[in-house]
């Protein structure tokens, strides 16, 4: 009801930023899929904090333990429990702000609703929860690898603060090499300077992430509610700090005419339908077209900043707040593997639902 | 699993564009709420086609019938069946395109998945399904009116094709008076000229809708998955033709710094917390702040256009397509009441979930 | 949440005994299954009231209308709306008891919870709701017929009041021929006399129903929660007036030793595993064995009886009550097709879930 | 979908008999409820193996760890992770039977479906899973204690093999004192002799458990599907080895007449409605009456027995099997706390759903 994501392949996350552990309880996974902690760990390593000066200096090994649902190196078809212990919970960092609400942060609403102020950190609203998503995503990727060989799900940062990229320079390898996950090497340098400046002034910035899924078969999704685009939007909007999500041309589709927006159809060399453009982002009427699936989401700037902001205390007094702690100047960077993980979970969920309801695609062309 | 929306207050829609009827099966509604067909009908009338030259000329009375769940003028707490008969299904209009796929339309994916080409219209992918949402939304508004007196949910068009509005001229009354649902009277005139031109050339355009909910209490939502913003995104992205959705500052949050984005907090005249700005769109950490909730979504241009586009047939031949039928040049106009309805359903859903889990907000300030 | 049954193939029923119509909203149905009203109607006719002196004299044609989800004689894969209009709602029959609570009836709890007394009949708690289940079951049977050719789901009455059957005389054809659905012709005669006596004295009696599903493949179900036996129990216990449900040997398993209860395994003529007995009722560890699935459930006596009983009024006064109306002296008779329908829905649900999660059974024997 | 129980207060269990740990992931729990490991442990201790010669000699401390969802000694309203480590997994005991299927056991269906033979024990089908239910039940009891002070949920064994009890001797204290959980001291002695005999001969027996919930308020449940009795049946039937479940008079209701079954209503000393009998088991029309809720379920005999039984091997050869291991001669004994836990979870689930949908009961009497 509250902490579960997915329809058939479901992921229930648990754990707080400063408790003993966090994790993901995964249900609906097919049996017989080879999996191990070693296969999931690299995805967690991609998200792990403390890897560059641009991310929080909290040191967490983020080692995943599989507690159930795997036997003899294969999934059993039963609940898979993925646990990650918290190691470096330096609670004292938060002591200065325990009675104040951080502007732009969940502090105040969390307090109003639950009557709880977890002075050790954000409690359940901490972005640390996303490590559990990445673990579940690693599992989803393994299952997808069995069911749809060749599928590829990758993400990159396409905007940092006001700075975008030149899409003609897009290079996936570049995105892996630089700590900012920027696919445009020239932009990456500018971004680094910008971020250094922000960091030194105790400020932070927002970012835009793009996740692309290649070789997703046509036919996944449904026309209403269980739409593939809806579920991708749900997945991305459920990530902390995300304020917007779009598919294909996205918000810019508002500006287009029908003539411009129509992705014309032709036949490819293999005799299969092919689209001359991809404004649709790989999804028409909620169902995948076989083109690349393209999802973008915007992450707001970290609200825990050193620059002083006006706020109030729990007892209702006006004050100023300065948040020390160890925070990412741009949480968008670490949101890349999180977005990838969510897209992987959504696609797997739809692969299983499709198999359950339809079996195999029923319509042929040509 | 496939056709249901909501967690506690659930809406399952049914029906095809050219079948005998469409409707919404609503579960989880509280008992004892005064309701009647007359109370729901005005919301359907707001969405009804054929009201101006800017919307499809299909003539549908869209009269809602309550078949169950209401007794003696009050909800009973049991399933409420809302049915709307289809009256004006002119199937012949589609005969010319039965073998061709409309670019930018669900035709091709629907066929590939289900092996069905409902030559009478879009079948389940038709935007006619949204009438059922509006009926459910009318019911949700009635329940909200009982539980949260004073709540107000309103929408308007804030962009049509490339043309925006001047927010300083925003006037809700204006949005109700002009057929384009534009809150800026000057912009409305420009839009009308633009749309006339498109319509005459057999083209169409996209649009952006903004829905604002006022007087929503603080405390609705949750930090993960059952977030209020996530559920609003799900709700809006599930509407046909929507390609992007955002909360508050939305995609533009990517461009901001933490200092800019932080909505500073002070005390209002009533001694309750007040925010100096609303970049958050009324939601922090997935939970409502008590500020206005602001959701925007982009609708792509209608894909059924008179301008010829390249495509293929079911048998795999290259061809061109021209879609006659009766289509909206800008479906965004009629998406306004649909967006309002979805927001109403989401807020009610969270009101009931909150009451179930928490009872009343537990934290006080001041 | 409240009115839906099933996990993947879901059935949401709606409607009250004395409203305009009742129905079932079905989701998750595979596309491409031939179906029509004519294919569903016979199952409704089996349950229809007024067919003999042993069932209520209310005259309802119970004609099902398919309002959505079927096109060109086939399921589309979208929501299927099955509607049955109420025709013979003689509300005046209830006027004498509007202020009194019937002992053994939902009147009192319904009133306490919802504050509603639907003086026209039982409202949502009426057994009329079960017609919608039978319609959904007819659809489920059609889908099962496509996916598991040869599957057979049949029910019979095995006890009426204190009178049982001689299992050695079991004959399915007999059960279809007599109005009491008794598979033992000799018992049927005794039962008829017994029931005549009860009816004349304004009394009623309970009954036990047995439903048997043949040719269900091994492998449906799961070890925990989504067990096939659990879902069958849920299905049967959700039928009005059911007070107990059992699988295979059932409650009598408490009396057995491990040696007695163990269904020994051998190889059949076809080289496949075969069981020497079926105490398990076709389900081991929540998963089907391939043997006959055997479910039994007990229905309590109709609580609307002519014999006077002590009760209270809404205003808290002691009184006596005599219920006139048109009621079944033994509701168990008409519960047979309802039980069959529920078993059909459960098995289909598990067939689709199994296909979604596992694809095909993974273990082979021999 | 597969491993979750509950509608609003949901429990997802995980873990295998011989893996590192098992546990329950609980969602939907209200915030602010005092809870600790110490408060849950006594319920686990009631179920723990190795406490008498009548239960398996496996030695498990069954110490519960709360990994999330509790802060400062109170629930936070977020996912609660309850983990129990496995300590005494003596896998070698199973080596002799790894290639054979135990008659009456899930071995064969588990293998057919998943292609997995967890030679270390029953894998996911092991009754060890029920420890996680008991932990969740302990949490549910703590929440119920806050929301419904005075509620009491207790269970006892009312039949062991063919031996019943004399209900006039029922004494709850006795049920707590003897290792067989028998509420009739005289019967307990006979049962002990019977069970000793079975144990020595390598045999086992079934049992019947009765759980009684006192001081449950009227109004919990719904007339269709989300019925309180349906959810109790689901809960009990989902426990390993359960073959039947009944409410109140249960299966025996089939034998009664309407006159006998009607629980007449009068006014109690406090002016509130009171029933002269409780055939209903505290539930009418799916909704609680305020009387004692009475649920019974039958557990089949342990299928892992020393007495040799005919069976086949994975490769399809006829053979005999003798199961050594450490098994309970009567699993029913340890099923008592499991049944209590499931009833606690169901009642809490309905308390929260009721609060969410209805708020407070709407109908008054007198």
Q: What is the pLDDT of residue C22?
A: 97
pLDDT band at A157 (very low <50, low <70, confident <90, very high): very high
Q: Tens digit of pLDDT for each residue in B148-182?
A: 999 999 999 999 999 999 999 999 999 999 999 99
The alpha-carbon gap from A212 to the nearest alpha carbon of chain C, in Å, equals: 25
Residue of D nearest to C327 (CA): D258
Q: What's the pLDDT score for residue C258?
A: 95
Q: Please, which pLDDT band fits residue B90 given cuts at 50, 70 and 90?
A: low
Helix axes C37-47, C332-357, angle to 10 degrees: 140
Rounded to the nearest 5°, which phi and psi values hold at C212? -120, 130
pLDDT of residue C92 exceeding 60? no
C224 interfacial to chain A (CB closer than 8 Å):
yes
Chain C: give the shortest CA distance to residue D73, in Å. 30
Distance CA C200, CA C215 (A): 42
Partner B contacted by D7 (CB < 8 A) = no
Dihedral, A260, A262, A267, A268 alpha carbons, nearest 10: 70
At C227 the pLDDT is 98
- Cα distances from C350 to residues A348, C6, C7, C286, C337, in angstroms, run 20, 9, 8, 11, 20
SS3 assignment for chain D: CCCEECCCCEEEEEECCCCCEEEEEEECCCCCCECCHHHHHHHHHHHCCCCCCCCCCCCCCCCEEEEECEECCEECCCCEEEEEECCCCCHHHHHHHCCECCCCCCHHHHHHHHCCCCCCCCHHHCHHHHHHHHHHHHHHHHHHHHHCCCCEEEEEEEEECCECCCHHHCCHHHHHHCCCCCCCHHHHHHHHHHHHHHHHCCCCECEEEEEEEECCCCCCECCCCCCHHHHHHHHHHCCCCEEEEEECCHHHHHHCEHHHHCCCEEECCCCCEEECCCCCCCEECCEECCCCEEEEEEECCCCCCCCCEEEEECCCCEEEECCCCCCCCCCHHHHHHHHHHHHHHHHHHHHHHHHHHCCCCCCCCC
Residue C193 has pLDDT above 60, yes or no: yes
Output Rg (C-alpha) for chain B, integer angstroms.
Answer: 21
Tell me the residues of chain D between 253 and 272 that have a Cβ less than 8 Å away from chain C: 253-267, 271
Q: What percent helix, strand, coil does chain C show, rounded to 5?
A: 35, 25, 45
Does the structure show a pLDDT above 60 at A92? no
Q: Average of pLDDT values for C80-91?
A: 85
Which candidate from B261, B285, B298 shows the least CB-CB separation from A301? B261
Contacts of D355 (CB under 8 A, 6+ apart): B355, B356, B359
- Which residues make Cβ contacts (< 8 Å) with residue D133, sequence separation at least 6? D11, D13, D24, D239, D338, D341, D342, D345
What are the angstrom distances between the C-alpha of C56 and each of C188, C302, C324, D137?
19, 11, 11, 43
| Integer angstrom CA distances of residue A107 from A123, B248, B256, D251 | 10, 18, 20, 54
- Alpha-helix residue ranges (DSSP H) falling in B201-309: 228-237, 258-261
Query: A358–B256: do the CB atoms touch at under 8 Å?
Result: no
From the candidates D71, D143, D356, D363, which should be mutated to test the interface with B, based on the most B CB atoms within 10 A?
D356
Q: How many residues does chain D have?
A: 366
Residues of chain A by 3-state class (helix, strand, coil), percent to 5 = 35, 25, 45
Please choose, from the candidates D101, D146, D93, the residue with its C-alpha nearest in 3D space to the C-alpha of residue D125: D101
- Residues on chain B touching A109 (C-beta within 8 angstroms): 218-219, 221, 283-289
Structure tokens at C155: 């029910």
Instruction: Identify all chain A residues contacting B251, using CB atoms and an 8 Å cutoff.
Output: 208, 243-244, 246, 250-251, 298
By Cβ distance, the residue of A244, A261, A276 closest to B247 is A244
Residue C316 φ then ψ, to 5°: 85, 25
Q: How far is CA D199 from CA C250, D51, D203, in A?
A: 23, 16, 6
The token duo for B235 is 């709700």
Greatest distance between any 2 Cα atoms in chain D:
71
Nearest CA to C218 out of C356, C6, C364, C9 is that of C364
Element (H, E) at C196: helix C185-200
In the numeric block, the tokens 């996740």 are attached to A211
A312 at interface of B, judged by CB pairs closer than 8 A = yes
Please state, rounded to an integer, the average pLDDT across all residues of chain C: 93
pLDDT, block means (10 residues), chain D with 366 residues: 97 94 98 98 86 71 96 97 86 70 94 87 89 98 98 98 98 95 97 94 96 98 98 98 98 96 93 94 98 98 90 94 81 96 98 98 93
pLDDT the model gives residue A236: 98
> Does the CB of B154 have a partner CB in chain D at under 8 Å?
no
Closest CB from B80, B81, B114 relative to C31: B114
- What pLDDT, on the 0 to 100 scale, is given for residue D85? 96
What are A299's strand-pairing partners? Answer: A207, A242
**Taking CB atoms and an 8 Å cutoff, what residues of chain C touch B32?**
114-116
Q: What pLDDT is attached to residue D324?
A: 78
Task: Report the C-alpha gap between B247 and B261 in whole angstroms.
Answer: 13
Q: What is the pLDDT of residues A334-353, one digit of tens each?
A: 999 999 999 999 999 999 99
Residue C59 scores a pLDDT above 80:
no
- Chain D contact probe: residue of A66, A76, A128 with most D CBs at under 10 A: A76
The shortest C-alpha distance from A299 to chain D (Å) reads 24
Report how many helices (DSSP H) and strands (DSSP E) chain A contains, helices first.
8, 17
* Closest-CA distance of chain A to residue D360, Å: 21
Q: How far apart are CA C229 and CA C285, in angstroms?
A: 9
- CB-nearest partner of B27 from C2, C28, C123: C2
Phi, psi of A274 (to 5 degrees): -140, 145
Would you tell me how many other CB atoms lie within 10 Å of the CB of residue A99?
15
Classify the complex by whether its ipTM is higher than 0.90, answering yes or no. yes
Tens digit of each residue's pLDDT (9 = 90 or more) over A236-281: 999 999 999 999 999 999 999 999 999 999 999 888 899 999 999 9
The set of residues, in sequence order, having a beta carbon less than 8 Å from that of A189 and lying 6+ positions away, is none
Per-residue pLDDT tens digits for C217-258: 999 999 999 999 999 999 999 999 999 999 999 999 999 999
Beta strand C4-5 with C309-312 is unpaired
Residues of chain D positioned with their CB less than 8 A from the CB of B227: none
* C37 pLDDT above the threshold of 60: yes
Cβ of A108 and B265 within 8 Å?
yes
Q: What is the mean pLDDT of chain B?
A: 93
> CA-to-CA distance for C62 and C139, rounded, in angstroms?
15
Whether the CB-CB separation of B317 and B113 falls below 8 Å is answered with no
Q: What percent of chain C has pLDDT over 90?
A: 83
Distance from CA of A135 to the nearest CA of B (A): 16
Nearest to A364 by CA among A229, A273, A259, A260: A273
Which among C4, B79, C314, C108 has a CA at the least distance from the CA of D288? Answer: C108
C335 Cβ under 8 Å from any chain D Cβ: no
Burial of C262 (0-12, 13-18, 19+ CB in 10 A): buried
Q: pLDDT digit string (tens) for B249-259? A: 999 999 999 99
pLDDT at residue C360 is higher than 80: yes
The sign of the CA dihedral D65, D68, D73, D77 is: negative
Any residues with CB less than 8 A from the CB of B274 and at least 6 apart, and which?
B265, B266, B267, B268
pLDDT tens, B208-251? 999 999 999 999 999 999 999 999 999 999 999 999 999 999 99
Residues A140-172 as b/e (b if ≥16 CB within 10 A, e otherwise) read bbbbbeebbeebebbbbbbbbbebebeeeebee
Q: Does B37 touch chain C (CB under 8 A)?
A: no
D323 touches D115 (CB < 8 A): no
Select the residue of A105, A237, A299 nearest B229 (Cβ to Cβ): A237
Q: Which of these, C300, C298, C13, C10, lies nearest to C130 by C-alpha position?
A: C13
A-chain CB neighbours of C32 within 8 Å are 362
Give C33→chain D minimum CA distance, Å.
25
When pLDDT is cut at 50, 70 and 90, the band that residue C325 belongs to is low
CB count within 10 Å of CB A186 equals: 12
Backbone angles phi, psi at C87, to 5 degrees: -115, -45
For the segment A10-53, what is each residue's pLDDT rounded down to a tens digit? 999 999 988 999 999 999 999 999 999 999 999 999 888 767 77
Please state, in angstroms and rounded to a whole number, the distance separating the CA atoms of residues B110 and B116: 7
Angstrom distance (rounded) from CA C253 to CA C261: 7
pLDDT tens, residue by residue, B302-361 = 988 888 999 999 999 999 998 876 678 899 999 999 999 999 999 999 999 999 999 999
**Which pLDDT does position A58 carry in this prediction?**
66
Confidence of residue C153 (pLDDT cuts 50, 70, 90): very high
CB-based contact D316 C267, cutoff 8 Å: yes
DSSP A97: G
Residue D325: per-residue pLDDT: 66
Measured CA to CA, the distance from residue C65 to residue D261 in angstroms comes to 37
Does residue C35 contact residue C75 with C-beta atoms inside 8 Å? yes
The verdict on D2 touching A (C-beta cutoff 8 Å) is yes
- DSSP output for B58-107: ------EEEEESEETTEE-SS-EEEEEE-----GGGGGGGTTBPPTTSTH
Average pLDDT for C197-219: 96
Residue closest to D179 by CA, chosen among D62, D49, D52:
D52
**A75, A359, A361: best to mutate for the C interface, most C CBs within 10 A:** A359
Does A326 have pLDDT greater than 80? no
Query: How far does CA B159 lie from the centroid of its chain?
Result: 16
Distances (CA, A) of B41 to B56, B61, B154, B339: 19, 10, 17, 17
Buried b (16+ CB within 10 A) or exposed e, C218-227: bbbbbbbbbb
pLDDT for D362:
96
């Amino acid at each position: 009801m509250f902490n579960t994501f997915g329809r058939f392949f479901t992921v229930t996350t648990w754990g707080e930023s400063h408790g003993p552990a966090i994790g993901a309880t995964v249900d609906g996974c097919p049996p017989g899929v080879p999996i191990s902690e070693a296969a999931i760990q690299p995805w967690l390593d991609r998200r792990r904090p403390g890897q560059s000066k641009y991310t929080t200096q909290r040191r967490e090994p983020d080692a995943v333990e599989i507690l159930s649902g795997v036997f003899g190196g294969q999934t059993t078809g039963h609940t898979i429990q993925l646990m990650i212990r918290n190691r470096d919970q330096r609670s004292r960092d938060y002591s200065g702000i325990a009675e104040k609400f951080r502007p732009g942060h969940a502090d105040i609403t969390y307090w109003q609703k639950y009557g709880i102020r977890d002075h050790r950190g954000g409690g359940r609203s901490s972005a640390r929860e996303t490590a559990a998503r990445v673990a579940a995503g690693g599992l989803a990727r393994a299952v997808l690898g069995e069911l749809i060989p060749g599928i590829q799900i990758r993400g990159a940062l396409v905007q940092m603060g006001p700075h975008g990229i030149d899409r003609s320079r897009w290079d996936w390898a570049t995105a892996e090499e630089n700590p900012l996950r920027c696919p445009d090497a020239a932009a990456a340098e500018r971004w680094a300077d910008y971020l250094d400046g922000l960091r030194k002034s105790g400020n932070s910035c927002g970012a835009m992430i793009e996740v692309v899924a290649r070789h997703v078969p046509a036919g996944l999704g449904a026309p209403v509610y269980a739409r593939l685009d809806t579920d991708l939007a749900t997945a991305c909007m459920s990530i902390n700090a995300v304020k917007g999500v779009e598919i294909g041309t996205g918000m810019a589709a508002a500006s287009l005419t029908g003539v411009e927006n129509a992705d014309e159809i032709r036949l490819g060399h293999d005799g299969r339908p092919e689209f001359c453009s991809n404004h649709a982002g790989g999804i028409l009427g909620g169902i995948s077209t076989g083109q690349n699936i393209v999802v973008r989401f915007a992450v707001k700037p970290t609200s825990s900043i050193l620059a002083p902001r006006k706020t109030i205390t729990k007892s209702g007094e006006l004050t100023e707040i300065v948040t020390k702690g160890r925070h990412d100047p741009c949480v968008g960077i670490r949101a890349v593997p999180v977005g990838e993980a969510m897209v992987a979970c959504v696609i797997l969920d739809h692969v299983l639902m499709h198999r359950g309801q339809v079996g195999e695609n029923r319509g042929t062309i040509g």
